[in-house]
Amino acid sequence: MKQSRKIVVFMLFVLATWMLTPYYAMAYDDASNAIMHDVVQEGSWIQQDTPSVVDATYGGEQPKSASMPTVIDVTYYGAKPNTQEDSAVPVQRAIAAAAAVDGPVILNFPEGRYDFYAEDAEKRPYYISNTASESENPDVTKTIGLLLKDMKQVTVEGNGSLFMLHGKMTTFVIDQSEDIEIRNVRVDYERPTMSEVKVLEISSNYMDVEVNQDSLYEIRGGQVYWVSEPNKAGARYWEFKDGIAQEYDPDQNITWRTGNPVSSATSVQELKANTLRLNYNQAPNTAVGHVFQIRDGVRSQVGSFIHKSKNVTWKHVTMHYTHGLGIIGQFSENLTFEDMTFAPREETGRTATGFADFIQASGVKGKLKIMNSTFRGAHDDVINVHGTHLEVVRKPAPNQIVVRFMHHQTYGFEAFFPGDAIEFIDNSTLTSVGSGKVVQATRMNDREITLTLEEDVPPTIGTGVVIENATWAPEVEIKGNHFSRIPTRGILLSTRGKSIIEDNVFERMQMSGILIASDAQTWYESGMVQDVTIRNNTFIENGNPVIQIHPENTKYAGPVHRNINIEGNTFQMLDNTVLFAKSTDGIRFSNNKITRTHPNTNPNEQVAFHLLESNHISIEGNEFEGEGVNRTVLLDRTPADEVTISPEQQLHVNDKGVLKSISIAAGNDQTTVKATASSEATQYNGDAKYAIDGNPSTFWHSQWIPYAPLPQSITLELSMKSVVSGLSYLPRQEGYNGNITRL
């Protein structure tokens, strides 16, 4: 009997201890695609220095098998949603626990708000394409909310949670990982690095504006300084005074780049909290209700970064704001974005979502899919798919070349790997002049890489040649998306892989809806397209031209792009061009509907089709509706026998050409004339010399970081006395701004 009583007492002690310990039962429900989390707690929380991994079970009873994911709940590691306490370190602990699991893992965030502060976040250096130069941002360190590095089979399940960032941060970095899924997450900033003011009243010499509730500011010496929220020590994470601006018209739901109305004011008065009077010699030309969006110009962070990873999927993710570029995939394979939303949180009253592009794929291979998503409120292009041209600078050995990153905002990252196929591209014609295979890539410094090839470099390869990595060029499917409130383009596409752009809506892009480019003298974004289908899309009052096939070659030595099929689309047109195509072999424009949304008082002032140095083109079976709809086809150095046009369309063909060479710029000879300007955006290839270089793809641009207010001027100085019989002026070929108004 004594022994039995001891056993009973021991069992009661074990039971009491168990009842005082939190019990976690978790199950993963495939049908509802959600985590069900049930916490039963008796007594008080027992703090553990090293929390154990919690296994997922189905119904809490079945034993774990290899196919069942392990669930790591971030609250078990100290994350406290809805408290505004810093989740950075607890989430790091949870990720470390996930990394220790052999098999699939779900990193679970019970629904709520999770705050991430820059102070204790992960910090790692990453060189990211198209971000910032050495002088703009000498420190490439990224401040990271969630770092998934060297991980496999991990799902981040947000359950609709809001991740709130404090300071300039990169939300996710997925580095050298495989089979990763991010889902059911929303991301925003406590204080976005974008400030917004709404026009309340305007007169000839002042403008009253309402500052958005999230746009913190201080007035010092009669000037506005935009500031962040205080950090943990009470100081500011960041501040700026000048900045780049866009204007938003809510009635038309459009934005465009403009001057900064705050920094250009002669003085500022605070009428009351969040209401300012901006004084001018001459007030800006705007309207009551318009919103100005103001940001600094340095892309020091990105929204999220996918680096050297494979099979990465994003589902049901909302980005309410991103500092710098949005989501960047760089030298990664098989990326899927489905049911994404890029838009401000409605309750904030903000109108801008992004600092720059929303999704950029730079050196991606395999499949790139962007499906059923909404993109609204960027400060640059929505989607940009491209590689990078690096210029050949020397040949240290017969089978070696040293190549260099040329654009100031793209450098430092690994751009070649053993086994990669490369092509040598003439930088003036953008056509291939040779090929090779990489055996070894050695990083020399931030700008230069030595490539060792299987075979000797062709003797003709020298300066004026760039290298394209032909291996890292994805197949692309962009389907079922809606683009709006974009100041530039919807899609930039430069990839050899088969590409389909289908069932999308492009609402009032201020530049082209789709641009197929490739260049080796400005942004150095590579990629000759070889199979593109643009099908069943709707283009609503897009910029000029709506679809632009415009490789930036300065000489023609054969086609750059090939096999582009444009069919079944609807174009709701302004007085602009439907299609501009240059240096392209094989264009089929068929069964599209082109309508005029407003009556055209000057019909055919713009051409419908501008075909420059292209061949094998058919324009057949299209419908043209509306008063004054453009019906002219311009053949510009394109032989008439290379174009097939079905007669029922009643199109007018003009083969005279409109691009006139300026004699002083012929042959790219600038020794007889010098161009100077009152302002130049030299850091963005906007030098005055580009106005007279004979290349229609380059242009002079006045300074816009910081903004140089109008008027601005350009002067052409001849080296000798000359008789000037006239001036032929070619406006900027891409975009809505840049027209000279007075000579």
Give the DSSP letter string of 321-377.
-BSSSSEEEES-EEEEEES-EE---GGGT----BSS-SEEEES-EEEEEEES-EEE-
Q: In terms of Cα–Cα distance, which of 540, 539, 543 is closest to 568?
A: 539
Q: In terms of Cα–Cα distance, which of 76, 68, 156 is closest to 108?
A: 156
Q: How high is the pLDDT of residue 660?
A: 33
Strands 383-388 and 421-426, how do they pair? Answer: unpaired
Chain Cα centroid distance, residue 727: 38
d(CA 664, CA 675): 11
pLDDT in tens, 626-680: 888 889 999 999 999 999 999 999 999 988 543 333 333 333 344 457 788 877 7
Whether the CB-CB separation of 315 and 183 falls below 8 Å is answered with yes
d(CA 26, CA 445): 50
Whether the CB-CB separation of 84 and 128 falls below 8 Å is answered with no
How many CA atoms are closer than 13 Å to the CA of 62, on its beta-carbon side? 13
d(CA 178, CA 24): 28
Q: How high is the pLDDT of residue 663?
A: 36
Which pair of structure tokens corresponds to residue 123?
């910090």
309, exposed or middle or buried, with CB in 10 Å at 0-12, 13-18, 19+? buried
Identify each DSSP E strand in 50-93 by its residue range: 70-73
Find all residues with CB under 8 Å of 648, minimum gap 6, and list them.
none
Percent composition of the chain: helix, strand, coil (DSSP 3-state, to 5): 10, 45, 50
Q: How high is the pLDDT of residue 701?
A: 78
Q: Give the H/E segment covering residue 7.
A: helix 2-19
Q: How is residue 666 annotated by DSSP? A: G
Name the pTM for this structure: 0.85
Strands 267-272 and 652-654, how do they pair? Answer: unpaired
Residue entry with tokens 């250009």: 264
- Average pLDDT along the chain, 743 residues, taken 10 residues at a time: 43 36 34 33 30 37 61 98 98 98 97 98 98 96 98 98 98 98 98 98 97 97 96 96 95 96 96 97 96 95 98 98 97 98 97 96 98 98 98 96 97 98 97 97 98 96 93 98 98 98 98 97 95 98 96 96 98 94 98 87 73 97 90 94 95 66 37 73 69 68 65 71 58 57 52
d(CA 167, CA 176): 26
Q: Which residues pair with 632 in a beta bridge?
A: 652
Q: In terms of Cα–Cα distance, which of 196, 197, 195 is closest to 227?
A: 195
The ranges assigned to domains in the chain are 8-187, 194-295, 669-743
Q: How high is the pLDDT of residue 603?
A: 53
Single-letter residue type at 385? V
Q: How high is the pLDDT of residue 714?
A: 84
How many CA atoms are closer than 13 Å to the CA of 313, on its beta-carbon side? 16
Q: How high is the pLDDT of residue 706?
A: 55
d(CA 90, CA 124): 18
Find all residues with CB under 8 Å of 365, minimum gap 6, and list them.
333, 471, 472, 473, 474, 497
Find all residues with CB under 8 Å of 428, minimum gap 6, and list them.
464, 553, 554, 555
Q: How high is the pLDDT of residue 273?
A: 96
Return the CATH fold of 669-743.
Answer: Jelly Rolls (2.60.120)
Q: In terms of Cα–Cα distance, which of 147, 158, 214, 215 is closest to 187?
A: 158
How many CA atoms are closer than 13 Å to the CA of 689, on its beta-carbon side? 7
Long-range contacts of the stretch 650-653 (C-beta < 8 A, 24+):
650/624, 651/608, 651/609, 651/619, 652/604
Whether the CB-CB separation of 323 and 193 falls below 8 Å is answered with yes
How many CB atoms are closer than 10 A to CB 694? 16
Identify each DSSP E strand in 191-250 by its residue range: 194-202, 206-211, 217-220, 223-227, 239-240, 244-249
Q: How high is the pLDDT of residue 710?
A: 65
